[in-house]
Structure 1
Amino acid sequence: MTDRFVSNFTNRLDAKGRVSIPSSFRAVLTKDGYEGLYVHQALDLPALDAGGNALRATIDDILSRFSPFSDEWELLSTALNGTSEVLKVDTEGRMVLSEALKVHAGIGDTVTFVGHGHKFQIWEPERFRAHLDAARTRLRDVKRTLGSLSGPAGGASS
């Protein structure tokens, strides 16, 4: 069993608005020991960030870099803590997304869960495909740039 969220999965919401968290993600959450599922609106994407203690620790680490009296701390805390929800996960591994979370991510009757190591994201599937395509395009450009920078001593280029 891994302690990281990896891969991506698409699941449908049922008639009651519940969606099953992928079993491999549930296993990571169980190992993490967080009660429920911590979810907040992604800062700059039409997606949701979700996880447990590891995600909370990352948020706390980010906030600890700023004075609690600074504007930056206030803004980040509002965005990361002020829009967060702790969702209940039932015994079948299902959760219900609030209307506010669904509206932020444009979620209808299907969601895509995307692993990000210490957290996972929840996307509307078409938005995720577009985001993934854009990410791959940008990464090709990064790879070309890195390849042109490395010479014989810098390692192989492709």
Structure 2
Amino acid sequence: MDRFVSTFTNKIDAKGRVSIPAPFRAVLERDGYSSGGIYCYPSIDAPALDAGGERLAKKIDGLLAGLPDYSDERDELSVALYGDVQVLGIDGDGRIVVPESLRRHAGLQDQVTFVGLGDKFQMWAPQAFEDRRARAREKAQEHRKLFGAGSAHRSGGDDERARE
């Protein structure tokens, strides 16, 4: 598997060390994460941390490349993403040390919930993630009809062409 998937909750110790789930480490290894460690930064829109390897860095590069050089938008996005990135080393036991500033942003205390999001993963305080998951499921249910409507619309178009 080459994507971060699933959800895991691990303990974080008093020094801020936490084990990255083994499936996530396997994805990072295949991704060719930086020899210095993983990229980690405060999420722009959530009390969570975004993290990943080289694929995440390339996605950020792609976002920035789509904006004009020296534009305010590019500068702001660069500051928001790369300006706050910390490279977290992975020790021989598969652990990282989450710095205090990052723990404070995400409200991490004694546990961390790792959430796979495809090309990246997030780290959340467990209860904050449960609240987030409930909202996401609720919204997905609300929008479920839209997903079905798109396929019905497409098949409706095919039926109309078949009748012509």
TM-score by length of 1: 0.91
In 1: Cα distance, 2:9 partner to 2:73 partner: 35
CA contact (8 A) 2:5 2:117 kept: yes
In 2: Cα distance, 1:32 partner to 1:153 partner: 38
In 1: Cα distance, 2:78 partner to 2:4 partner: 24
| Ranges of 4+ aligned residues in structure 1 off by more than 2 Å | 14-17, 144-155
Structure 2's unaligned 5+ residue stretches are 158-164
In 2: Cα distance, 1:151 partner to 1:63 partner: 35
Counterparts in 2 of 1:81-120, with a 5 A limit?
81-120=82-121
Give CA-to-partner distance per residue, 1:25-82, whole Å, 9 cap, x none. Answer: 0011111122201001111111111001000000000000011210000000000000
In 2: Cα distance, 1:43 partner to 1:103 partner: 14
Give the equivalent residue in structure 1 for 2:25: 26
In 1: Cα distance, 2:67 partner to 2:14 partner: 44
3-state SS in 1 of match to 2:114:
strand
In 1: Cα distance, 2:129 partner to 2:116 partner: 12
3-state SS in 2 of match to 1:16:
coil
3-state SS in 1 of match to 2:96:
strand
CA contact (8 A) 2:16 2:99 kept: no
Structure 1's unaligned 5+ residue stretches are none
RMSD: 1.7
3-state SS in 1 of match to 2:155:
coil
Give CA-to-partner distance per residue, 1:108-153, whole Å, 9 cap, x none. Answer: 1100000011110000110000000000001111013444563693
Give the equivalent residue in structure 1 for 2:136: 135
Counterparts in 2 of 1:4-153, with a 5 A limit?
4-34=3-33, 35=35, 36-147=37-148, 150=152, 153=155
Provide the aligned length of Structure 1 versus Structure 2. 154
> What is the aligned-residue identity percentage?
49
The structure with the largest alpha-carbon Rg is 2
Higher helix share: 2
Query: Taking structure 1 as reference, are residues 78 and 144 closer, same or farther at Cα in structure 2, changes over 3 Å only?
Result: same
> Structure 2: which amino acid aligns with 1:108?
Q
CA contact (8 A) 2:20 2:96 kept: yes
